[in-house]
Chain A
Amino acid sequence: MPSREMKQSVENGLVIAAELAAGQADASAKPKVIATRKRCEADGVGLSHYILMDRKAGK
């Protein structure tokens, strides 16, 4: 049975399958808190008109 919050999400048109699937799982079995962070050398140079694909090219 969907929760009230989920019904509200359906009403505003932004519900997604992930929300529904998440709602069906047993909440108490999920971690109480999740927090992660990774780091690396920053070298991003893309912009919204272009994404550089660095993978080795081959054809």
Chain B
Amino acid sequence: MNAVSHNLTAPSAGRYANLGVGPTLLPFDIGHADYMALSEPETAFWALVRKDQLAATLADGPLMRSYREKAADFARELHALRFELKPSAVYVNPTERCNLNCTYCYIPEGMRRSGQHMAADKLIAALERLKVYFGTVVPEGKKPRIIFHGAEPLMNRGALFAAIDAFKDDFVFGVQTNATLLDDEVIAFLADRQVSIGLSLDGPLAETTDATRLTFGGKSVHGKVLRAMDALRGYASWSVIATCTEKNLDQLVPLVDLFHAREVPTCMLNAVRCTLPGARTVRPDDEALARGFIAALERTHELFRQTGRKMVVANFANILLAILAPTARRLMCDISPCGGGRAFFALAPDGGMFPCSEFIGLDEFRGGNLFTDRIEDVLESPAFRTVTERNVDRIVPCKGCAIRHFCGSPCPAEAHEMNGGMERVGAFCGFYEEQTRYAFRLIADGKADDFLWDGWDAKEGGVESSFEFALP
């Protein structure tokens, strides 16, 4: 039953919501005093409806008529986003090693302790192969992205620097680092080349960070990360990730205070990925996570109102974007299929190709080798297709959920490793429900832009309105 594929062979066909081939409009509570939401999941169409207007809105009125005109366009847009993207980024692990032993890491400990580096000449050869491939799929004028990731990429700093200098005109580069090796020299090198830098910090105080992020010898790195953050102040392209676990939920508000005070432009407050067993030991409860997360979001809003300086929480901003402008998403976890193996893929130090960094410790998801296989073939390998064909429309209970295309039931690695298979629900269903309800409350109150990047919907950035409906 939907408005997209309907066949107007009867006078009333498609006229009534939830009947025959009419649109499926699912009402759901968003916790707002005045509004409920309606969603047509198949096209990710939504409306906020005043509670006293719900029955009238579901009748064949102006909203229904306006939506019918756009339904096919919205369906095509969502289909293209979900199934027709080509890769434009690679997460490159230039080493298996790390100097930290974080509780929740998705790279197995043995690799991080004594794994291999990718030699500089091999890394350069890898980027050359990727450059040739991207020349066939990325539109002219756009640069593909290379993100050095880990393990800890700066443990192989020489190779990293050589690769960035060799391909500075060919790729947009980023580095995600634990910041312990991010000294002034490294920052100067990366900043001079406009490399985007991501750090990690889990708490406002050492005792919180130390609960999940320590060296193999048990030493704290909290102070080092703060020093790196001080050194990065004023640089436009940096961000900090905090991994939300049961160890830091009560510290998320002071943590965003710390981030804001240190002028962090963008942060992420990510629910811990529960792919490997270690992470599951600090998995937070969904409701407690939602409570701490929303409190932190509210605090960022207070800080914005008080200071005029916005600090975007990117993973929440992405939920807002999924609702307001599905194609404007920056993150490709909260969509189904996720971006793994189709919008991007991951490269291990031995040339192994995986759908996403999250799978690097799981050898059954190795789709091939960059140095011996055609990238096009690897993207179609059974290992990749296991991920790229995971479809929220087939997952129980997601397939009947009104918000399934704002959430995507992430993450396939967690579903597979923790919940028993790709056709299982993701890790934090309840948390996504609360994020989405909160996002709709902000939209209802006209506050959504306060949580998004300035200029996110600018016409000069290629964003245009495709539906604008307000019934006074």
- Which A positions have Cβ atoms within 8 angstroms of B? 3, 5-6, 9, 12-19, 21-23, 25, 27, 30-59
From known contacts A32-B53, A39-B325, A40-B461, infer whether A52 and B273 are also in contact, taking CB-CB under 8 Å.
no
Contact of B196 among A23, A48, A57 (CB under 8 A): A57
Are the C-beta atoms of B324 and A53 separated by less than 8 Å?
no
Q: Majority SS of interface residues in chain A?
A: loop
- Which B positions have Cβ atoms within 8 angstroms of A? 31-35, 45-53, 56-57, 63, 66-67, 70, 74, 77, 80-81, 85, 88-89, 91, 142, 145, 147, 149, 172, 174, 176, 191, 194-196, 198, 234-239, 241, 265-266, 268, 270, 273, 287, 290-291, 294-295, 298, 314-315, 318, 324-333, 338-340, 343-344, 356-358, 410-411, 434, 438, 441-445, 447, 457, 461-472
CA gap between A52 and B294 in the complex, in Å: 23
Are the C-beta atoms of A38 and B48 separated by less than 8 Å?
no
CA gap between A25 and B331 in the complex, in Å: 35
CA gap between A15 and B33 in the complex, in Å: 11
Are the C-beta atoms of A30 and B50 separated by less than 8 Å?
yes
Indicate the member of B147, B235, B356 with the most A CB atoms within 10 Å: B147
- Closest chain B residue, CB of each to CB of A39: B466
- Closest chain B residue, CB of each to CB of A45: B89
Q: Majority SS of interface residues in chain B?
A: mixed
A21-B445, A47-B356, A57-B195 given; name 17 further pairs at CB < 8 Å: A33-B471, A35-B469, A35-B470, A37-B465, A38-B328, A40-B461, A43-B88, A44-B329, A46-B333, A47-B340, A48-B273, A48-B411, A49-B273, A51-B198, A53-B237, A56-B194, A59-B191
CB of A5, distance to nearest CB on chain B (Å): 7
Chain B residues with Cβ below 8 Å from A39 are: 77, 325-328, 463-464, 466
Chain B residues with Cβ below 8 Å from A5 are: 31, 33
Are the C-beta atoms of B191 and A38 separated by less than 8 Å?
no
Are the C-beta atoms of B333 and A16 separated by less than 8 Å?
no
